[in-house]
Structure formats: C-alpha cells, structure tokens
Amino acid sequence: MSGTTSGVLSEARNGAMAGWVERARRVLPGGVSSPVRSFRGVGEEPLLAARGAGPYVWDLEGRRYVDCILSFGPLLFGHAHPRIVEAVQRAVADGSCYGLTSRGEVELAELLLSALPFAERVRFVNSGTEAVMTAIRLARAATKRNVLLRFEGCYHGHSDAVLVRGGSGLHALPDASSAGVPPGRVADTRLVPLDDLDAVADVIAREGDQIAALLVEPVPANSGLLLQRPDFLPTLRKLADSCGALLIFDEVISGLRVAPGGAAERFGVAPDLVTLGKIVGGGLPVGAVAGPARVMDLLAPLGPVYQAGTLSGNPVAMAAGLASVQLALDPLERAQLDACSAGLEAALAPVCRTAPFSLTPLFFGSMFWLWTGDGAPPRRADRADALVRRRFARLHERLRAHGVLLAPAQDEVGFVSSAHDRAVAQEFAAALKRSLADLADDATLRSPD
Ligand SMILES: Cc1ncc(COP(=O)(O)O)c(C=O)c1O
C-alpha cells in the first residue's frame, strides 16, 4: 500500500489538524458526532481522518496509521474495498433513494437469510441502535410481556431502554448510564452481570412470566472482549425457553464477523431474533433485524408493530451491504481474514511477553483486546482500575506516535480486516516493540509490590 498523499492531504499538512479540531469543537458537541471519537478515554487530542485504503487510515496532516479502529467494526475487508466502492458508485448513479422497494433490499435479504437458518424475514433499518429498538418492540409484542433482561457492560445502541449500565462510550458516564432517560423507560429493564448464569436464573425464577426477551451480545465486545464460558449461550437458550421469553442475539459486532452466520453459527445456538449492523452495510448506514416469520410478520404493514424509515433499505447502502455480505460469505475471503487475524496474533504475542507491565493480547477471530491488567482478562464488565487504564492510555499514545491506531478507550476492542496481511502485522509488532521500549522506565505503570 503506497503512502502517497492525496490533494486534500498535501493542502492540509503542517499543523492543520489543531485548527480543525478547534473548529469542530465550536460546532459539534465535544468536536464529534459520536463520543468515543473525542479520544477523551485516553486523554489525547482527537485526530481527523482524511482517507482510508486497505488496512491504513491517513490523518489530516498526512500521517499514515495501521488502522485497528476500522470504524468500530464495519470494515471487515479494510477501507475502500474496490468491490464496495464500485457497487456504491454504480448504485448512486441510478439515484440515491426512491421511497420504493428496490432490488438491492431483496437480494441482500436473501443473501443474509442464507446464512441465518433460524430466520425467514429481515427488516432493514439505518443503524444497530434502530435494529435493537425494533427487536425489543417485536419481542414485547410477540410475548405480550414487557420485561427486558440484559447484561451489564453490553452495549445495544442508544435507545432509552438500554442506556443503563451499558458498555462502549457509556463507560465515560457516571454508573455507565445516560441522563435524560425517564425512570419509567427503564422500569421494565432487568440487569444481570455477565458470567453469572445463576443471576439470570434468579430473575427468571422471580418474574419469568413477565419477561419478553433476554438480550445479549453473544460475544460481549463493548467493555473489552469478555469471552464467556462455553455453557453461556446454550444455558441462555434453555432459560429463555423455560419461561417463554425470546432470545435476542445482538450481533451488530459479531454478525458476519465471527462466522458467516455470526455467533449463532459459531456456537451452534439459534436465537429467536438477531440484530445486525456495521458489516451488513459495508461502511454505509444499515442495520437489520431478522427472525422467523411468526415474529417478523408482526411488523407493519402485516401486523400491529410499527417501525418505518425514510431511508431504510436505501439503495446505495444496500449496494454497499450486498458487496460486503458477498465478501463475508466468500470462503476465500474468510480464509484470508482468518490468516490475517492469526498472523497478527502470532506477531503481537511474543512482543507482549517482553512488556514492562502485564500485557495480554486476547484474540477472538478478527477481534482483539490488549488487556493491560495483572492476571487473566475478565469475563465481567467491572470497571478497570486506574492502573489498567493508565497503562492502556500510555500504550495507546505511544502506538499512535509509532503509526498504529487503536480505538481510543481501554474498554473498546480492536479489529482486524482481510487487508491486515503479514506485512501489516509486522508493522504493528515493530510499533508495539518501540512503544514498549518507550514505556520501559515509566514507574507509574508498574504493579504495586
Ligand atoms: C453490540 C452493538 N449493538 C448495537 C450497537 C449500536 O449500533 P449503531 O452504532 O450502528 O447504532 C453497537 C454499536 O457499536 C454495538 O456494538
């Protein structure tokens, strides 16, 4: 991948970024359109992106980074994959939206359903947030119950019902919960810790006949990568069945990533409803809910559950999504992705062992987490202590200085794409080595004796 700069970049060189950050802060709250992008989580100044290609992103001053943010998940094949670019260009030339159903929706739905054997219908929306909102509403209508059981530290977007003790950017707020959510909106939400199936069983024993749905990220990845024990999903399935609740897998991150059929395929556990986002739009705004006809056909116009969207099923987004999902279902592309993930893990692991503090690279396919705590990585979303966060922040800053971009918060995971080949893995490993050398004498990162 060449390091040539586009016109935009050369114009913007020489300290232009600080000016843009300042301008952004004057007109966008916190200078951003989504909070984690502020880099507050690591105490750094944010950067503005100028362009991306394959595994790399360039900032406004022309610096190139190995990108492991990858837009927080959609870019399973790297930036500007030629098939996605071409599909978008072709689609937009035919008009950007119609307010009518178009072929792309049908084709994308058919393709998705081929990977989701438990599902018969798909409704397209514009984001993961909307997909989860719709799934919850459907589950409540299908069961004629109201209670939602969910897990602390999982993130399900920013609709009211799920903004209590959540993951991702919510970690920056007191009690990981949002202001502005009337208590009534979450009165029917029950929260249990991850890695505690007894707590789930207790809630079900108490009020199972009120529970509409168990909602879970099947591979929790919004409070770090919290890999659950093997019995987690099978037991949730049994517990949901035991009380007649629906099981909703929020696969906005894991869908199409951990297997073509997501975690449902990977772990062999079928949910009742699945929510998708990110990869399903190939970098354009698409979310989806899928499930059996008996539940999905409760949606208007067939049924009484209302959900709609001016831009839902947008033809340009569908074209990007179709190209992205075709790639995600292509065995050769998946083999390349697996090789890239394994290659990065193999390149980083020996370097992590030389770190001057405890540093564990935890990989699950093409997702990873650099755990900076002493001891084994956690399974629950307990807030990491100040030392763990300080180590991550210092490491993040050094890696950035050496040309590798990790998501700017200790509790966000990193992503690998099928463009993160062996050379990119070596580049990351070399940057990590230099970063750890820079931190070798920092006494504030050592464990207390
Ligand atoms: C598991 C999960 N669900 C839902 C969402 C919300 O998706 P969106 O940001 O597209 O609204 C996210 C976003 O990161 C997510 O990780």
- For the chain, the straight-line distance linking the first and the last C-alpha, in angstroms and rounded, comes to 46
Closest-CA residue to 42 (of 333, 395, 415, 353): 395
pLDDT at residue 158 in the model: 94
pLDDT at residue 14 in the model: 60
The preferred substitution site among 36, 72, 125, 129 for testing ligand 1, maximizing ligand atoms within 8 Å of CB, is 129
pLDDT at residue 3 in the model: 42
Q: Is 285 in the pocket of ligand 1 (CB under 6 A)?
A: no
pLDDT at residue 323 in the model: 98
Give the model confidence (pLDDT) of 99-158 as tens digits: 999 999 999 999 999 999 999 999 999 999 999 999 999 999 999 999 999 999 999 999
Catalytic residues: 155, 250, 278
Amino acid, single-letter form, for residue 394: R
As annotated, the residues of the chain forming the CATH 3.90.1150.10 domain(s) are: 7-80+331-445
Region 84-102: mean pLDDT is 98
Indicate the burial class of 148 (C-beta count within 10 angstroms; 0-12, 13-18, 19 or more): buried
Strands 147-151 and 189-192: parallel
Task: Please tell me the distance from the alpha carbon of residue 76 to that of residue 74, in angstroms, as a whole number.
Answer: 6
Query: What band does 449 get if pLDDT is binned at 50, 70 and 90?
Result: confident
Q: Cβ–Cβ contacts within 10 Å for residue 87, how many?
A: 23
Give the model confidence (pLDDT) of 154-212 as tens digits: 999 999 989 887 777 776 776 777 888 888 888 999 999 999 999 999 999 999 999 99
Q: Which atom of ligand 1 is nearest to the CA of 154?
A: 1
Give the model confidence (pLDDT) of 277-301 as tens digits: 999 999 999 999 999 999 999 999 9
Lowest-confidence region among 160-164, 215-219, 433-437, 439-443: 160-164
Give the model confidence (pLDDT) of 419-430 as tens digits: 999 999 999 999
Token output for 150: 């969910």
DSSP state of 102: -
Q: Which atom of ligand 1 is nearest to the CA of 277?
A: 10
pLDDT at residue 178 in the model: 84
pLDDT at residue 13 in the model: 57
Q: Is 277 in the pocket of ligand 1 (CB under 6 A)?
A: yes
> Is the CATH number of domain 82-328 3.90.950.10?
no
Give the model confidence (pLDDT) of 323-381 as tens digits: 999 999 999 999 999 999 999 999 999 999 999 999 999 999 999 999 999 999 999 99
Closest-CA residue to 211 (of 251, 174, 243): 243
CA angle 342, 345, 346 (to 5 degrees): 85
Q: In what order do the strands lie in the sheet with 64-67?
A: 49-53, 56-59, 64-67, 404-405
Q: Is 299 in the pocket of ligand 1 (CB under 6 A)?
A: no
Give the model confidence (pLDDT) of 213-271 as tens digits: 999 999 999 999 999 999 999 999 999 999 999 999 999 999 999 999 999 999 999 99
Task: Please tell me the distance from the alpha carbon of residue 404 to that of residue 11, in angstroms, as a whole number.
Answer: 23
Closest-CA residue to 254 (of 44, 413, 111, 141): 413
Q: Is 128 in the pocket of ligand 1 (CB under 6 A)?
A: yes
Token output for 182: 């009337």
Query: Which residue has its alpha carbon closest to ligand 1 atom 3?
Result: 156
pLDDT at residue 121 in the model: 98
Q: Is the pLDDT of residue 319 over 80?
A: yes
Q: Is 127 in the pocket of ligand 1 (CB under 6 A)?
A: yes
As annotated, the residues of the chain forming the CATH 3.40.640.10 domain(s) are: 82-328
Q: Which atom of ligand 1 is nearest to the CA of 285?
A: 10
Q: Is 126 in the pocket of ligand 1 (CB under 6 A)?
A: no
Q: What percent of the chain is modeled with pLDDT above 90? A: 89
Query: Which residue has its alpha carbon closest to ligand 1 atom 8?
Result: 128
Q: Is the pLDDT of residue 7 over 50?
A: no
Cα Rg of the chain (Å, integer): 22
Crossing angle, helix 82-92 and helix 315-328, to 10 degrees?
A: 160
The preferred substitution site among 253, 273, 311 for testing ligand 1, maximizing ligand atoms within 8 Å of CB, is 253
Whether 125 and 119 have beta carbons less than 8 Å apart is answered as no
| Torsion, Cα of 313, 317, 322, 325 (10° steps) | -100
Task: Please tell me the distance from the alpha carbon of residue 95 to that of residue 91, in angstroms, as a whole number.
Answer: 7
Q: Is the pLDDT of residue 9 over 60?
A: no
Q: Mean pLDDT across the chain, nearest whole number?
A: 95
Q: Which stretches does DSSP call E strand in 69-128?
A: 121-125
CATH of the domain spanning 7-80+331-445:
3.90.1150.10
Token output for 334: 């998946």
